[in-house]
Every structure is written in C-alpha cells, then in structure tokens.
Amino acid sequence: MKKLRSSAAYRIAFAYSAAIAIGIALLGTIIFWAMHIAFTRQLDAMINDEAQTLLLEYRDEGGELATAIAQREHIGQQGAKLFYAVFEPNGRRALGSLNTTMPQLGMHDIAFVDPSKGLDQARGLAIDLPDHRRLLVAADREWVEQIDRTVLVTFAAGFIAVIGLGIGGALILGGYLRRRLSAIGNAAEAIIGGDIRRRMPTSGRDDEFDRLAMVLNTMLEEIERLLENLRQVSSDVAHDLRSPLTRLRNALEESTLGGVTAAAREQVIAGAIVRVDGILSLFAAILRISEVESGEIRRLFKPVELSALITDLAESYAPAIRETGRSLTWSVEPGLTVKGDRELIAQAVTNLLENAQRHTRPGTDIHISLAYSAKWVRIAVADKGPGVAPADRDRITRRFIRLESSRARAGHGLGLNLVSAIVRLHRGHLGFADNAPGLVAEIELPRNP
C-alpha cells in the first residue's frame, strides 16, 4: 500500500479515476432529481386533470358522483393507478375506495391503506365540491418510485463499474508508468555503478519516454566521448612526457659525472632548457585546447575581417615557406567577415599552413584560398604533397595522433586537434579531402553566426 501511495504514477492514475467516479455520481444525482421532479409534476398534472374532469362531469352533466367514481375505479387507468374518495364535511368518507382520512385542500403527499399492500404513499389533490363535500383524487406514487429506483440502480451500477474500472485502470497505467520509468532508472543506476556503455532502453514506439530516453542517450554518448577523450589525453600526456623527461634526466645526470668539461656541461644545460620549453609548450597547447573546447571565449567574439586576415597570413608566411623550398600562393575573396576570435582563427589557419609545409617535400606548391557560399565562408589550404589516406582523414584531428609516416618529425600531435576545437568553437566544420595529388584541408565558418 505504501508503494502505491508513494508512486506518482499510481497517484495520478487513482486521482484520475476518482475524478471520473465523482463526475458520474454528480451526474447521477442531477439526473435522479431532475427525473424525480419531472415525474412528480407529471403525476400532479394527471391528478389535476382527472379531478377537473370529474368535477366538470359532476357539475355540467349533473351526473351522480358515486356512479362516476365507481365507474372509474372499475375501469382503472393506464400508467399510474388512480384512487378516489369523497368526504362529508364532518370528515367521514362517503364515496370511493381510497382508505384514508380527510386531507387538507390542495396537492399533498398522503398516506392510505392499500387493501393488498397495507399502508402506502400516494399523491393526492383535495378540492371542495359545491355541496361542501371534499373530493380527493390520488395517484399511487409507486410509478414514480419505480422510475426513481431504476435510475438509482442504473447509476449505482455505473458508479461501481467506474470505480472498479478506475482502480483496475489505475493499477495497470501506474504499473506501466512505473515499469517504463524504472527501466530508465535501472539503466541510470547501472551507469552510476560504472557501466558507462549502458544506454536507456527504448520501446520503439517513439513516445514521450522514448524521446526522453533518446535525449538522455545522446547526452550519455557525449559524456562518454568526453570521458574517453579525457582518459586518452591523460594517458597520452603521461606517455608523451615520459620519454622527453627521461632523456632530460639522463642528460642532466651525465653532466654531473666526472670528466665532463665545463663547455659540455653548458651545452647539456642549454639542451635541457630547450627540452623543458618543449614540454611547457605541450602543456600550453593542451591548456589552450581545453580553453577553446570550454566555449567560454565565445563571449569575446567580435567581427573578424577574414579576407584581410587571410591575405595578411599568406603574405606573412609566403617568405618563410619559400625559404623552405616550397611555394605559397593565395586567392582571397575580398570583403568577407565572420564573427569570432581573430587570433584563434589565425592560429587555426597557421596550423594548417604549418602542417602543409611540415608534411610535404621541398618543392611542393601550397595554395590557400578564401571563398564563400550562401551560408558559409570556406578557407582551404591545399598542397600537392603525399596526401592522407581516406581512412586516416578522420583520425588526424584527434589528440596526439601522429600517423606512422610522420612520427619521426617534430610536433606534439596537437595541431589539428586545436584547429578542430577552434572550428567547433566557431560552429563551423573542418574537413579533409583529396587534392589529387595531395591534401586539401577546409575550414567552413558560418557567415552569420
């Protein structure tokens, strides 16, 4: 019972069926009274008609009242049975078979003795005759009572049926709601218990519960992705730090051994500083990525003159890239503006340019372009280098991913991950395609974010 009371599902179902039952009871009462009053009126009208007819007959035709009454009592009427009595002014019943005492004038409920049933209720109209006798015409209430009883019994049965159906329905509905909800609850508990791959069950009916479950599942997937990311990053950071720190430690230890010249020691220290700087820049990159991923920088967004920025970057990088034996050309659609962080966009484009030169042979042509469509502006960095296999194109934006082909080269494997984070911050897309030959990296940013 406590389970039923503490369950919102049962409470709602019970309250709902109770409301219907009360409605039925109310409706029954109203109908009962309306019918009761209507039938009583009808009965009164019939008695009145009968009394008037009798009176007219007696007065106009000068007929004998006794004969008329006897005749009527003998024939009997359809519907309600009528009774008659005529009283002397002294109260004695002179005519008619209605066994009762002399009533007041007007319409009343009266009691009489029914020869077959004993004391009974009737509705009667008493009027005074011109000869000071009093005529009573009465109708047995039996007829109205019977209708009343039928109505009452019908509604009582209906009421009981509704209560029964209500309780049954409430139990079924409540049970159903509890089952659906506890399925979600159980899944949540399993997830709390550590089974983060568990998902909310869906029934396939696409109802409210399914939609809730699907939203929760999307949320769980995002959480799982973030968790996985976090786990990956912490193990990668630990892994990536171990080897440079080990080398650093070894170099420093060696320099403390005897027989090392002051010049050599200085060289070791200089090398150590370079290594530490590398480690610090790795941390700076990780922190920058998490800052970008948090999305808080969006509040600092301002309009960025993208055309000017890309031209500027291309002009700044062209000499440096030319120095490495590659070439940089550009084609920039003028006058394009996006809302964002100028420096982050610059960093993203810079990273793409640096990737293009780091992963291609000297002599390679690199081209940067800025174009637009109805909704997007597209920054593309294309090279004629070796390209990236289609299977690897999705992987290269992940943290610390360095394809085997480039593992030997410098870099901490965070560049494209940062680009991807920056592009997501600007609600854009980052894609890689075949430049046949080579790779084209495309950043799409919304024109009116």
Q: Which is nearer to other proteins, 66 or 284 (CB)?
A: 284
Least separation in angstroms between CB 311 and other proteins: 11
User: Please, which residue, 22 or 280, has the CB nearer to other proteins?
Assistant: 280
**298: its two tokens:** 């969006």
Task: CB nearer to other proteins: give 81 or 358.
Answer: 358
For residue 445, the minimal CB distance to other proteins (Å) is: 18
CB of 289 to other proteins, least distance (A): 12
- Cα(81)–Cα(122) distance, rounded to whole angstroms? 10
Q: For the CB of residue 339, give the shortest distance to other proteins in the complex, in Å.
A: 16
**Residues found near other proteins in the complex (CB under 8 A):** 280-281, 284, 287-288, 291, 296-297, 299-300, 315-317, 319-321, 323, 341-344, 346-347, 350, 353-354, 357-358, 410-411
To other proteins, the closest distance from the beta carbon of 447 in angstroms equals 23
C-beta of 98 vs 425, nearer to other proteins = 425
Q: Considering the complex, state which of residue 2 and residue 302 has its C-beta at the smaller distance from other proteins.
A: 302
CB of 171 to other proteins, least distance (A): 57
How near is the Cβ of 177 to other proteins at its closest, in Å?
47
Q: Which is nearer to other proteins, 137 or 328 (CB)?
A: 328
Q: Compare residues 56 and 287 and give the one whose CB is closer to other proteins.
A: 287
